[in-house]
Amino acid sequence: MSIFIDNTTTLLVQGITGRDGSFHAKQMMEYGTTVVGGVTPGKGGQKFEETVPIFNTVAQAVAATGANTSVIYVPPPFAADAMMEAAAAGIKLIVCITEGVPVLDMTKVYPYVKEMGARLLGPNCPGLITPGQSKVGIIPGRICAPGPVGVVSRSGTLTYEIVNLLTKAGIGQSTCVGIGGDPINGTNFIDALAAFEADPQTTVVAMMGEIGGTDEQEAAEFVRTKMSKPVVGFIAGQTAPPGRRMGHAGAIISGSAGTAAEKIEAFEKAGMGIAKRPMDFVELVKARL
C-alpha cells in the first residue's frame, strides 16, 4: 500500500518540453512511472522521447489518455493557470514543482482546486515517491527503498537527507511526500498524516517541519488526538533569528507561534519522538518499528 500514488498512477507532465520538465520526465519514466502524455501549448501532435504524445491542453490530454495525475514544470507566472487547468480537466492529483508562485495567485488556486475535487501538492515542492511503484516530481529514486516508514516534510533537501539515512540503515519507506514551504500550499501535514494513519503498510511516520507558521503545532495536536501510529519529528531552523526568512517563503517567525521552541514543545506534548539532528531519525524510527 501507499498514499496518493502507486502503480496505477497515470501521469501527465505539464511543461514537458521545457528544460526542467523534459529532464525530470525522463527521470520519472526511467524509474517506472507511467507517463502517458505531456502538455505544451503549440506543440500538440509531437512526441516526447518518441513514445509520449504531447497535447496543447490538459483537457485534450485527459480525453486521450485518461490520466489521473499531473505534474507541473512551468514558469511561476503561468503556474496558477496550469494548476487550475489541470483541476478543470478532471485531474485528481496535481503536483506543482514550480518555485516562486505568487501568494496572491495561490489565494485563487487553492479554493478552485478544492471546489473541483482535486488534491494539490505544492507549489514549491519536490513532489512524492512511492518506492518501487511510482515517482512524481524530483525526489531521487535511487535513495529510496520500499518499506514501512511514511515520510512527510516541508523541505525538499531535508526529505532527501532523511530518506537516504533511512535507506542506508535498511529502513524502507511506504511513500515520501514533500508538501512544500510556501505560505499557501495544497496539502498540509495533517492531510499526509491522516493518509499514513489509514495506510496499512505504514507503521511509523517521519515528519520534518521548520520554523514559521503553526502547521507543525496543528499537526502535533492531530497526532495526539487522532493517530495510533508513532510519529518522529524534527524542526529545521532552530538557530534562525526572529524575523529572518530562511529559504522558504513560509519560514518566517512572527511572535512566538512560529519558533522552533514552540513547535518542539508541541511535539513533546503529543508524545512524538523528537530528533535533535537529522541523523537521529534512524535510531528513533528503529525503536518504533
Nearest-10 Cα torsion for 231, 237, 241, 246 = -130
Say how far apart CA 73 and CA 207 lie, in whole Å: 26
C-alpha torsion angle, residues 48, 50, 51, 52 (rounded to 10): 10
Phi, psi of 34 (to 5 degrees): -85, 90
Candidates 248, 260, 264, 282; catalytic one = 248
**Grid coordinates standing for 143?**
535513495
Strands 34-39 and 10-14: parallel
Report phi then psi at 233, rounded to 5. -125, 155
Active site residue 24: no
Residues serving a catalytic function are 248
